[in-house]
Structure 1
Amino acid sequence: MTLGKRALSLIFPVVLAGYVLAGALIYYVQGSSILALERARLWQQMGLLTAVFQNEVTQNRSFIYSLVEGGAVRLFVNEPDAAYRNTALGVRLQQSITSLTDDRKRFISVAIIRPPLTVDYYFEDSDDPFAEITPQQIAHAQQVIDSPRLSSWSYLNTAGLEPLIVHSEFIDPLTFNRPVASAKSSAILVQTAVRPKLFLDMKRALEKEYGATIDIGQHQLLAQGSLSATATLSPSLFARLTPDPSYLENRLWTLKSLLALGAIALSLCTIILVLGLVRRYITNPIASLDRQLTDVMTGNRSALPEMNEPGEIGRLSANVKRLHDHSMKSFDLVRNASWTDTLTGISNREYFNIRSTQILEEAEAEDIGCTLLFIDVDNFKFVNDKHGHKIGDELLKTLADRISDIVERVVGERGLPNGLFARLSGDEFAIMLRCQPGSGTITEISNAILALFGEGFEVLDKAYPVTASIGIAVYPEDARTLPELVAHADAAMYQAKSQGKNGSARYSRSLHEKRNRQRRIEEELRVLEPDREFHLVYMPIVDGHGKVTGCEALLRWTSPVLGRVTPDEFIPIAETTGLFSKIDWWVIDRAMSEHSHIRKLFGPETILCINISSAELYTKSISDHFCECADRHGVDARMIEIELTETFAVKLGDQSRRNIEILRARGFRISIDDFGAGYTSVQQIIEYPAETIKLDRELVESLTRSAALPTLRALVALCHAQDMSVIAEGVDTTEKMALLAAAGCDLYQGYLISRPLTLEEIGIWAMQRLVEKAREAAQTPERRASA
């Protein structure tokens, strides 16, 4: 909490309490005055309501007298012809009634009643042409007839109906004056009823204002509570209004709110004055020191200035300055350590991300481009595993020093801003440069880096077989954000790898489409139904006499979304995403289920070769799955040859070695596939635990030349010495077949023999071979006879 806030927290409650106490005293005094004022106002309102009601009564009385004095009632009463009286005279009487009022919306009704209780005429000024006199009006007429009075009025307030003021007057039919009491039975009762609109409107307004209903009764009503008023509407009609308690509370709440706001406002004014004095002489010097320290911490100031404040504040400033100087030295050391790669001494991934983001923001602000070079060391794992981590670490340190020199030299010669060089992970490096492609800078740096690996990378006076693959992505053409830029440069790096390594590649649209296809392949692999989309084809393996000794099961995939996808596309993706188990297990089960058909075509000793991913050897369940499928489909394990890629055996793990030993112990044959495609060495041939070696087609292509025949014979002899059969892949010409046979190769596979065939196609192919052999057998005696 700041000093200003501390002062505020101490002073404000005291000042506020004083003003609140003063406000409370004012509230109690003003509350009594408000109550007296509201009481007087309420009595005044009830007096006005009484005056309005009495005026309504007087108007109704004048209305009945005016109606009687007119000739229309006299003619109606004295007309003996009932039909004429009810039609013509009734209409005339109706016109007389409506002419007595100027307000067409005011409700008026007139009834002419003959004792004992016969209604000769009734009319009301309403929208209902068939309206009839109400039972309440009949009851009032009955009361007047039964009473000794000749004239009477009443306030009819019936539930569900609008209140009415009803006036009844007896008229002598001859003199049209009030009759004597003895002639009442032969007199006519004229009754008028009006709706007291002004009285009702004022009554509703008061009820709405005070939130309470006005009680009206024929008995004296007493006031209730401190705020209540009564009124005498007539000698026999009384009214009372007792406002809802919340009405007075709302008025008092307004007073209370104003007093509270006033107390707070006065408190704030007082506090502002007091705090101004405290800040001027106490907190400002300390706040100045705090601002200077904050500027230093945020980078707006490099160091704290010297302060000449006397007393405690001056000493505090000097001590803080000394403490800050020591802290900054320690902070610089820690930050540099956290942003530096401990092995190579260059920037690490964290600093690369921070600084690259800043570089991209600066490039966007200045509307210039940036280029990212993503560098991966090829075969580094091989060198690290074979020669040890010490050599591997020394290789990375030497490489980092040489690339740093290249970047500094090229950037300095071309006058460009300093480049950013960092180690992202193991053998991956990145260079961020503020330049555009086309100037030659990127080409010069890439060529200089690749030249380091021209004849192997030299470390400690020894060359090692590593190369570099460089991926290049440009901002903003290829990407708008750092994650996209890194991802695209990484994709371009893999493109450079696929082109033969020790090269560079620029991110392109085609590469983007390739990455999208790889992503779609991965998505489809995750949701595919193997039985509907996968199928197997078989490629025969023959001996030197052309006899089929085995068939290799090869997987084919036809996706309903992507169409036909080659194994070269989806197998690497399945292995890198962990989906290979789903594929391999389906291939194993399907191939063994179709093995019986292969045996029928080529004999019971026909070997079925099944390819599995080398990654499967790291799980114990693969050996159990092979045995379970063999038992379920009745397949002899000795007739199954499991083909593994040659690169798996560069360094066998304990689990992989145990799995191979388990499979061999259960009778399965092991074959090393694509021998010569990876890191082949004589030592590995000696250590391979396998029955068969399959020479890769590229190795066969390079060794099936007359000049290389001795090397081919030596390789085949070495395999035979290890008790391994040799199968040559890629046999597509008779010349290759002859050279391989001369070298002692055991078995052959390739398009010269047959392309991969479905189960139905391989049956046709087998029948065609039988026909050809039969034809050749038939032609042989003929040739001998002719000879």
Structure 2
Amino acid sequence: MTLGKRAFVLIFPVVLAGYVLAASLLYFSQSHSILGLERARLWQQLGLLGAVFENDVTKNKSLIYSLVEGNAVRLFVSEPDASYRSNAIGVLMQKNVKSLSEDATRFVSLAIIRPPLSVDFYYENSQDPFAEIPQAQLLHARSMIDSPKLSGWSYIEPEGTSPLIVHSQFLDPLTFNQPVSSAKDGSILIQTAVLPRPFLDMKKALEREYGAKIEISNHPLTAKGALSATVRLGPSLHARLTPPPGHLDAKLLNLKLLLAAGAVVLSLFTIGIVLVLVRRFITNPVARLDKQLMEVMSGRRRELAPSDEAGEIGRLSANMKQLHDNVVESFGLVQSASWTDTLTGISNREHFNVRSNQMLDGARRSGTGCTLLFIDVDNFKFVNDKYGHKVGDELLRTLAPRINAIVRSVTERRELPEALVARLSGDEFAIMVQSNPADGTITEISRSILGLFSDGFEMLEKSYPVTASIGIAIFPDDAADLQELLANADAAMYQAKAQGKNGSARYSRSLHEKRTRQRQIEEELQTMRPDDEMHLVYMPIVDGRGKVSGCEALLRWTSPLLGRVTPDEFIPIAETTGLFSKIDSWVIDKAMSQYGQIRRLFGADTVLCINISSAELYNKSISDRFCDGLVRYGIEARSIEIELTETYAVKLGDLSQRNIDMLRSKGFRISIDDFGAGYTSVQQIIDYPAETIKLDRALVESLTNAAALPTLRAVIALCHAQDMQVVAEGVDTPEKMALLAAAGCDLYQGYLISEPRTIDDLGLWAMQRLIEQAREKSPSSKTGAARKASQA
């Protein structure tokens, strides 16, 4: 057997087995990827279906709100003449319904019902002028009349017609406001119904695409199998789509056939190339060398031919050189891959560290400067959570080349050395520029990068609400090495965030001092004993008559080393270092131990409000701490209100949601603090699991003027619609309190009422209020007031 045949017999099975193994591994990987992508797409499609449904629900709520606020319904209800009401005012109401409908061809209906179940008016935008209210809608009206709820919506499916979204709201026929539960029998029920055409069209399209019906149930649904998805359409409405088991079989079969054919074709192609190369570079040279050796051994020739292409030594040398070149090239490719960020294609942290140190060494030798720009994308987590990681990755993938193009354009135009642009981690980027700090290069680069976010970041034909904060540190003015330069640029970046984001800041001495103080606060927190250095003050909360209905416990810290440290300083540090748990435990125990004094001052119905860190929501023991305090100090759970910042809802996870549900199930009240200070949306207001909403003082400041009174009323009405009590913070003038009262606010808190006081000072304040109230009620006080009025 020749050397070529032996090579074929030995190499072909190995090559074939290798390709078969590679194809099998690739099939295993790709099948899982296909399943994962299809599952993610299915969840995304159902998420979009839920969003479309929520949009239809919101439009229907807006419709009934607009109708109730208008004059037509008010005239209809108050008109005693039934004939005039049905004809003239009925026509007016029909026009009103049509004018408020965005689509004139869309099905919309309005019904006015009086308990127990008398339909005074019904109109629907359809081809049937004698249409009557569907039986399913009447059944929904009956359930609303029999239930304690004053408003609500439902998804009904009338027999023989398309499903409808029905929104119901009870109104007092005299005041035209929402009645109290006890006066519900004398009220009227306003119902609007819309045909959720976008939802039904999308539902039908999904069912056609996946070959399965979408299940809609009033009970929670769970995904069935590997390829199944659910979505929550409302508080008690859920949907599930489960494609048939063979949905992906066709794709997987095509993948199998493609990989099998590829393995065979690549095996034959590879072995053919290998045999040609073996014969050209191994078999023939060896045969020629063997022939020459035989000729030498037989005496037919004295020496081997010169070792160029024909000689064995020459061929071995050429092959070794080629092998070395291949190894060097492969090493370069591996090194380049290890220094490149896989998501954005620019340098990664490792390459940045190596090249930056080289640039700093060069700057140190030449006596020139280097500037580091540390960039962080503001609100990136918000976009990532709201739009998904796929959008977040695409944002970073789009941003990196734009930053790179800006830096390259500026440095090339100014004839500067090539700058280094790298992604350090997550949404953090760094730029190392070799330039004179005073030549305007850094200013131009910073402004150009910030200009990318001037009107939101444009990507995929959509604008996303992200900005950038840039920290700038200069070598050697601000740091002596790369590690210190990075730390100082990072500190400057946080300073830019503190200045309002979408800006830049240069590292300064004040930043250094701020970082030093933060480090000192962290060190003091680690050794601090709360009983020795911390105390609580209380800020009363009153109703419209001035009666104290609750007290909010506020934490104060006076350090022997640092003096008075504000909560705005030490609470974020405590959260980031994991020390918040010790502080919150002390606050909970201390506040509950002093509740007895508060109850004696203001009555048994007084509520104690306790702030806890948002990070505590991820602590499984938070419920046990509060329950232990109830037992230890003999307090009822309804007397404790746990205050959470409204921004917690943006990042609410499963564990934190379970903890909140557990606290509420045990009777504790939940309050959303600083409402209006974060990314609040109308949907989040609807979904908040809370009894109380506290309007942030900044929101109160901006809305307590005559021009903003309708907006303030709408915000408070929306909270009331969710059965939430509204507390206004920052009430410091009588004018603000009057406007808040006119808007329907329930409770008030601020320096107009009282500043934060210790428990002892709170008792003196309560006593002083009692004396003042007694004076106001005394006859002499009234006589004196009358005398002064007559003199005036």
Structure 1 and Structure 2 fold alike (TM over 0.5): yes
**CA offset at residue 313 of structure 1?**
6.1
Does structure 2 retain, via aligned residues, the 8 Å contact 1:693–1:726? yes
Secondary structure of the residue aligned to 2:372 is strand
Secondary structure of the residue aligned to 2:521 is helix
**Which stretch shifts more, 577-586 or 759-768?**
759-768
Give 1:350's aligned amino acid. Answer: E
**CA offset at residue 633 of structure 1?**
1.2
Structure-2 separation of matches of 1:360 and 1:522: 32
Secondary structure of the residue aligned to 1:605 is coil
Secondary structure of the residue aligned to 1:469 is strand
- The corresponding residue for 1:447 is 447
- The corresponding residue for 1:754 is 754
**Which stretch shifts more, 481-490 or 386-395?**
386-395
Q: Is 1:456 paired with 2:456?
A: yes
Q: 1:219-368 residue pairs with structure 2 within 5 A?
A: 315-368=315-368
Does structure 1 retain, via aligned residues, the 8 Å contact 2:610–2:641? yes
Secondary structure of the residue aligned to 1:782 is helix
**CA offset at residue 314 of structure 1?**
5.1
Taking only the aligned residue pairs, the percentage that are identical comes to: 74
Structure-1 separation of matches of 2:786 and 2:578: 65
Does structure 2 retain, via aligned residues, the 8 Å contact 1:436–1:474? no
Structure-2 separation of matches of 1:317 and 1:740: 92
Structure-1 separation of matches of 2:354 and 2:333: 18
Q: Is 1:539 paired with 2:572?
A: no
**CA offset at residue 318 of structure 1?**
2.6
Q: Which consecutive unaligned segments of at least 5 residues does structure 1 have?
A: 1-306
- The corresponding residue for 2:502 is 502
**CA offset at residue 781 of structure 1?**
3.5
**CA offset at residue 705 of structure 1?**
1.8
1:357–1:784 distance in 2 versus 1, CA, 3 Å: closer
- The corresponding residue for 2:629 is 629
- The corresponding residue for 1:613 is 613
Secondary structure of the residue aligned to 2:332 is helix
Structure-2 separation of matches of 1:539 and 1:507: 39
**CA offset at residue 586 of structure 1?**
0.5
Structure-2 separation of matches of 1:308 and 1:363: 49
Q: Is 1:576 paired with 2:583?
A: no
Give 2:520's aligned amino acid. Answer: R
Structure-1 separation of matches of 2:484 and 2:786: 79
Secondary structure of the residue aligned to 2:624 is helix
The two structures have a TM-score, normalised by structure 1, of 0.60
Secondary structure of the residue aligned to 2:373 is strand
Q: Is 1:687 paired with 2:709?
A: no
Does structure 2 retain, via aligned residues, the 8 Å contact 1:551–1:609? yes
Give 2:639's aligned amino acid. Answer: M
Does structure 1 retain, via aligned residues, the 8 Å contact 2:534–2:558? yes
- The corresponding residue for 2:398 is 398
- The corresponding residue for 1:673 is 673
Deviations 1:224-278 (A, max 9, x none): xxxxxxxxxxxxxxxxxxxxxxxxxxxxxxxxxxxxxxxxxxxxxxxxxxxxxxx
- The corresponding residue for 1:423 is 423
- The corresponding residue for 2:594 is 594
Structure-1 separation of matches of 2:721 and 2:784: 41
**CA offset at residue 319 of structure 1?**
2.6
- The corresponding residue for 2:561 is 561
**CA offset at residue 700 of structure 1?**
0.9
- The corresponding residue for 1:260 is none
**CA offset at residue 733 of structure 1?**
1.1
**CA offset at residue 308 of structure 1?**
7.9
1:776–1:412 distance in 2 versus 1, CA, 3 Å: same
Secondary structure of the residue aligned to 1:568 is helix
Does structure 2 retain, via aligned residues, the 8 Å contact 1:370–1:474? yes
1:477–1:752 distance in 2 versus 1, CA, 3 Å: same
- The corresponding residue for 1:152 is none
Secondary structure of the residue aligned to 1:680 is coil
1:785–1:728 distance in 2 versus 1, CA, 3 Å: closer
Structure-1 separation of matches of 2:459 and 2:383: 12
**CA offset at residue 784 of structure 1?**
7.9
Structure-2 separation of matches of 1:745 and 1:324: 81
**CA offset at residue 387 of structure 1?**
1.0
Give 2:674's aligned amino acid. Answer: D
Structure-2 separation of matches of 1:384 and 1:556: 36
Does structure 2 retain, via aligned residues, the 8 Å contact 1:537–1:554? yes
Structure-2 separation of matches of 1:738 and 1:693: 19
Does structure 1 retain, via aligned residues, the 8 Å contact 2:308–2:315? no
Structure-1 separation of matches of 2:711 and 2:456: 25
Deviations 1:11-48 (A, max 9, x none): xxxxxxxxxxxxxxxxxxxxxxxxxxxxxxxxxxxxxx
Q: 1:36-75 residue pairs with structure 2 within 5 A?
A: none
- The corresponding residue for 2:783 is 782
Deviations 1:340-366 (A, max 9, x none): 111111111111111111111111111
Does structure 2 retain, via aligned residues, the 8 Å contact 1:375–1:428? yes
Structure-1 separation of matches of 2:556 and 2:773: 31
Deviations 1:564-599 (A, max 9, x none): 100010000001111100110000000000000111
Structure-2 separation of matches of 1:651 and 1:485: 32
Secondary structure of the residue aligned to 2:698 is helix
- The corresponding residue for 1:265 is none
**CA offset at residue 367 of structure 1?**
0.9
**CA offset at residue 751 of structure 1?**
1.0
Give 1:757's aligned amino acid. Answer: R
**CA offset at residue 498 of structure 1?**
0.5
- The corresponding residue for 1:707 is 707
Structure-2 separation of matches of 1:662 and 1:492: 42
Q: 1:201-220 residue pairs with structure 2 within 5 A?
A: none
Structure-2 separation of matches of 1:404 and 1:540: 55
Secondary structure of the residue aligned to 2:549 is strand
Secondary structure of the residue aligned to 1:346 is coil
Q: 1:46-125 residue pairs with structure 2 within 5 A?
A: none
Deviations 1:723-782 (A, max 9, x none): 000001111111111111111111111111111111111111111111111111125542
Structure-1 separation of matches of 2:434 and 2:428: 20
Structure-2 separation of matches of 1:317 and 1:582: 73
Q: Which consecutive unaligned segments of at least 5 residues does structure 2 have?
A: 1-306
Deviations 1:652-710 (A, max 9, x none): 21111111111111111000011111111000000000000001111111111211111
Structure-1 separation of matches of 2:313 and 2:493: 61
- The corresponding residue for 1:433 is 433
Structure-2 separation of matches of 1:436 and 1:537: 53
Structure-2 separation of matches of 1:512 and 1:738: 46
Structure-2 separation of matches of 1:668 and 1:641: 6
Deviations 1:272-297 (A, max 9, x none): xxxxxxxxxxxxxxxxxxxxxxxxxx
> If you compute each CA radius of gyration, which structure gives the higher value, 1 or 2?
1
Q: 1:377-392 residue pairs with structure 2 within 5 A?
A: 377-392=377-392
- The corresponding residue for 1:524 is 524
Structure-2 separation of matches of 1:526 and 1:389: 36
Secondary structure of the residue aligned to 1:501 is coil
Structure-2 separation of matches of 1:685 and 1:560: 42
Structure-1 separation of matches of 2:363 and 2:609: 58
- The corresponding residue for 1:470 is 470
Structure-1 separation of matches of 2:705 and 2:436: 48
Does structure 1 retain, via aligned residues, the 8 Å contact 2:776–2:782? no
Give 2:394's aligned amino acid. Answer: E
Structure-1 separation of matches of 2:483 and 2:676: 38
- The corresponding residue for 2:718 is 718
Deviations 1:627-671 (A, max 9, x none): 011111111111000000111111321111111111111111000
Does structure 1 retain, via aligned residues, the 8 Å contact 2:377–2:467? yes
Does structure 2 retain, via aligned residues, the 8 Å contact 1:676–1:696? yes
Structure-2 separation of matches of 1:697 and 1:314: 87
Structure-2 separation of matches of 1:584 and 1:444: 47
Structure-1 separation of matches of 2:749 and 2:626: 25
Structure-2 separation of matches of 1:762 and 1:442: 55
Structure-1 separation of matches of 2:589 and 2:506: 43
Aligned length: 481
Give 2:746's aligned amino acid. Answer: D
- The corresponding residue for 2:46 is none
